[in-house]
Structure formats: C-alpha cells, structure tokens
Amino acid sequence: EFFDSGVGLDFYIKSRYSGKHIKFREEIQGFLCKSEKYWQRYKANGPREKFDLLIGLDQYDDKDFSIQEIMELINICNGLSEKYNSDSIDDQKVRYFSKKLKELCEEALQGNNLVEAIGD
C-alpha cells in the first residue's frame, strides 16, 4: 500500500500496538505545506491555520496527541477531503491519507486511546 512505506511520520494508536498505522509521507506533507503556504506563515510568525496541527509536524520528531487534538485531526481530515477534491494525483493522495488517518483517529477514540506520530 502506498502509505505503508517511505519517509515520513507514522501514526499509531498509542498503547495498543496492532501493527496498524498510516504514514504521513514527506511528499504529501510538502505538497500541503506549499499549497497552504505554511512556511511563509511560519517564517512571518503568522496566525495558525486550520491544518497546521497536521502539516506543521516535524518529520524527525515524535508527537503524542491529546483527545482534543485527535478530534482536531478528524476535523482536519474532513477539511482536507473537502478542499482537495479534484482528480489530480496529489489531491487523490491527500484524500486517501485523510480517510485513513480519520479512521485511525476514530478507532483510537472508540477504544479510549491516544494517537502518536513517530518520525523517521
């Protein structure tokens, strides 16, 4: 599967390793950072935008998400799926990743677990 390998962050359900994960590939993060003008806003200390919790993650660091942040990730996934809705390959990759991350987040919440992202 496209999102099982490569360079990027791996999202897991914390404290219940089942092997199920979704990779936030570096190329998708780069595409979103460029599309959302993340780096220009970051350098200018601009206001935080709605996708920044996800696209602003450090590819080489780890992050534990709180319940509130998991709910925010679900909203981000919904927003990305709505915004990137063309037939372009990049938009299709964003939608696929968003769908899989949303499923992982919902499963974590149902099991009263947290989500963690582990960088390369």
What residues are paired with 24 via a beta bridge?
Answer: 9
Average pLDDT, consecutive stretches of 10 residues, N- to C-terminus, the chain (120 residues)? 70 75 93 88 73 92 96 98 96 96 95 91
Sign of CA dihedral 36, 40, 46, 48: positive
Residue 5 has a CB neighbour count (10 Å cut-off) of 9
Give yes or no for a contact between 6 and 25, defined as CB atoms under 8 angstroms apart.
yes
Helix or strand run (H / E) with residue 96: helix 89-110
Query: Residue 1 has what pLDDT?
Result: 45
